[in-house]
Structures are given as C-alpha cells and as structure tokens.
Homo-oligomer: A and B are copies of this chain.
Amino acid sequence: MYESYWRKLGDRCSMVISGNDLMSYFSNPGNLCWFLMPELDHAIRRLHGVVRNAIADDDRFIVVGTGSTQLFHALLYALSSPNEPEPISVVAAAPFYSSYPEETEFLRSGLYKWAGDAYSFNKDGPYIEVVTSPNNPDGAIRGAVVNRKGGKLIHDLAYYWPQYTPITGRANYDVMLFTFSKATGHAGSRIGWVIVKDKEIATKMVKFIELNSIGVSKESQLRAAKILGVISDDCLNSGPNKEENFFEYGQHLMSERWEKLREVVKRNGVFSLPKYSPDYCNFSGEYTDHNPAYAWLKSKEGLNSDNLLREHKIVTRGGTKFGVGSKYTRISMLSSDDEFNLLLERLSAIKVTTNGNY
C-alpha cells in the first residue's frame, strides 16, 4: 500500500551492500543484544522520540527479531519458567489476533499454553496477557483485562503509529512489541523489535533468538535503519522544502480509504463497522481519526460474514479465528490500490446483485 510513497522518495532510501559487507555473526559484541546493529538501535530510539508513541530511552533494552512473530515466541520463552509445575497460561481478550493461539500451541511447549479469551480467564497463578492496542482485528484501544497478581503483560503496539490511530501518549509498558511491516509497510524485511525494561527478560529473549536463528538478518536491519532514519529526518524537517512525511502520507491515505469503505458499507446496509471517536494526536498536533489497519465487519442479520463475502469473491478472515462469532469478519485495509478498489466494487455489488438473501 505504501509502495508508491517509497518509490517517490527514490534514492534517498536506496542502499548499496558490497560482497564483503555484514559477514560476521556479530553486530555489537559488547551489547546485551549482540546481534542488533547499532544503526538500527539508534534509528528505533530516535523514531520513537520523534513520533512520541513510546518511551525508548537509553535505560530500556531493545531486542531485534525476525519480524514481531519471532519476538512473540521469544517473549513467551522469556516470561515463562522451566521451574513451574505447569505451563503458564497465555490469554488475550477476544477478538484477538488470529495467530496467537496457533503460535502458542504448535510446538506443544511445556513452558506455556494458550488459555483463550482473557475475559473468561479465571485460573489462579501466573499468566501472560497479550494486549494488542490498537487491536487486531477491531482497532480498539485496549488495556489489560485480567489484572490479577502474577500477571505478565505483552503490549503488542504494532499499530500504534499515526497513520492508524491518534498518538495520545508515550507508551511506557514493561514489554512493547513493534514491527517494521506495520510501521512502514516493509513486510518482506522481517524486522521487529521489542522495547523492554527488565534486563533479565531481555537476556532471555536474546537467548531465545540465539537458539532459534543465531541472530537476525543484517541486510534487513541496515535497511530498516536507513528507512526509519529517513522518516525521522522528514518528520523533523520544518524548513521551506518540507514535504509530506511518511506518517502524514499514511494518515491521509488511510483516512481516504476508511471514508470510502464507510460509504460503501453504509450504502449496502448489510454490515456495520465499529465506531471510533477522534482523539488529540500528539504527533500531528490536531484531532485525528482512528483509521485501523483492518475493517471489522459485523453482519447486521447475524449471518456468516466470511462466507457471505466469499460468495462475492472477497476473501476475509472469519470471526471464529479471532475467538468470536462468525457474524464478524476481518478485511485488510492495507492492500494495494487496485485490490482495495476491487474490494469496494465487490462490496458495493452485494446489495445490488442479490434479492433479500444477498
């Protein structure tokens, strides 16, 4: 979706890598996260400072991963303990990111196990709650739900960037998860990072990544550093040559898409969408709308939304995968322009081409 923006920037984001560059396993042997490139470390802390979406001061540890998915696994490992009598429960409030259950369960770890919807979790003892805010799939701004002793929180802030949501404050949680793919659109690079307060947790995460993949692609790290750096430069540029920075661009684009989608959804009358109120955004310096990365559609008549849309050649991810009913379904708002326009077209056609049963 953001490709044309990056194309427009041309050489400013290009990088050249020679055959003899980046050969060693090590990026920064003296650092706790020895495989994190100093350039990326710097670019991440600087960008959070510029956007003011999270505290990433020097007393926090940054651990880089092969996308935020690898870091989610690293966190499960770091927040669990081999000395506990049973696996620690992992919960998230429904609707939750559809991959959390399978990612938690697929290796049948004795360290942690998926325990479902945080709203219905009532087991005593330690647990891990994943708090995704803005939430995937429904864009809601969220806090922890369980709030009991022994709870450990993972704050997944993948979508806490100005194009998706007003930046209302600098997040300051123990563990904050971010990903390059959602921040800038560079999903192919597989770069994610965690900002973590506790040294022991950071150390265990590094251990996980050593044992899982002995570090993270340096080519990707260097490229992410470059691109995040250009974004920060542009955000800080207040000179006469100031151009639209990446987040302004993204915000306009997402706003436009949401406006179009709401119009179509309203017109055909089959679905409803969540409502969000504008908030003051510290980054933009004005009230802005929530423009989530996904549209969370609900069938007004309680039909299976995923099936209904598939019949009209719209591929979505049904509500049951997110721990709720099939009347809900998730549509990506991050597709290419062509795909998004096709979505609008097909969505518009639902009412027109059907007689009462769509």
Measured CB to CB, the residues of A under 8 A from B are 2-7, 9-20, 22-25, 27, 65-67, 69-70, 73, 77, 82, 99, 102-103, 106-111, 181, 185-191, 208, 211-220, 223, 227, 230
Contact = CB atoms under 8 A, between A and B. Distances in A.
A213 B70 contact: yes
Given A6-B20, A6-B23, A110-B109, A211 B15 contact: no
A4 B69 CA distance: 36
A4 B23 CA distance: 11
A43 to B, nearest CB: 14
Contact of A215 (B6, B16, B190, B215): B190
Contacts of A69: 211-214
- Among A10, A20, A102, the most chain B Cβ lie within 10 Å of the Cβ of A20
A41 to B, nearest CB: 16
B23 A188 contact: yes
A19 B15 CA distance: 8
A266 B14 CA distance: 52
B223 A17 contact: yes
Contacts of A108: 82, 109-111
Contacts of A70: 66, 212-213
Closest 9 pairs (CB-CB, A-B): A13-B19, A108-B110, A217-B217, A219-B219, A6-B20, A6-B19, A188-B218, A7-B20, A66-B213
A22 B227 CA distance: 13
A215 to B, nearest CB: 6
A219 B211 contact: no
Copies in the complex: 2
A208 B99 CA distance: 13
Contacts of A15: 16-17
21 contacts: A2-B23, A3-B20, A12-B19, A23-B188, A24-B187, A25-B181, A25-B188, A66-B66, A66-B190, A73-B212, A77-B107, A106-B211, A107-B107, A107-B109, A108-B110, A110-B110, A189-B217, A189-B219, A217-B220, A219-B220, A220-B220
A131 B261 CA distance: 56
A171 to B, nearest CB: 24
A23 B67 CA distance: 13
Contacts of A77: 106-107
Nearest to A216: B190
The residue in A10, A65, A109 that gathers the most chain B C-beta atoms within 10 A of its C-beta is A109
Nearest to A107: B109
Nearest to A207: B106
A347 to B, nearest CB: 23
A9 B19 CA distance: 7
A155 B187 CA distance: 32
Nearest to A66: B213
A220 B217 CA distance: 6
Among A70, A185, A212, chain B packs the most CB atoms within 10 A around the CB of: A212
Nearest to A12: B19
B211 A23 contact: no
Contacts of A19: 6-7, 9-10, 12-14, 227, 230
A318 B290 CA distance: 57
A49 B330 CA distance: 46
Contacts of A191: 217
Contacts of A109: 107-110
Given A77-B107, A108-B109, A109-B110, A214 B227 contact: no
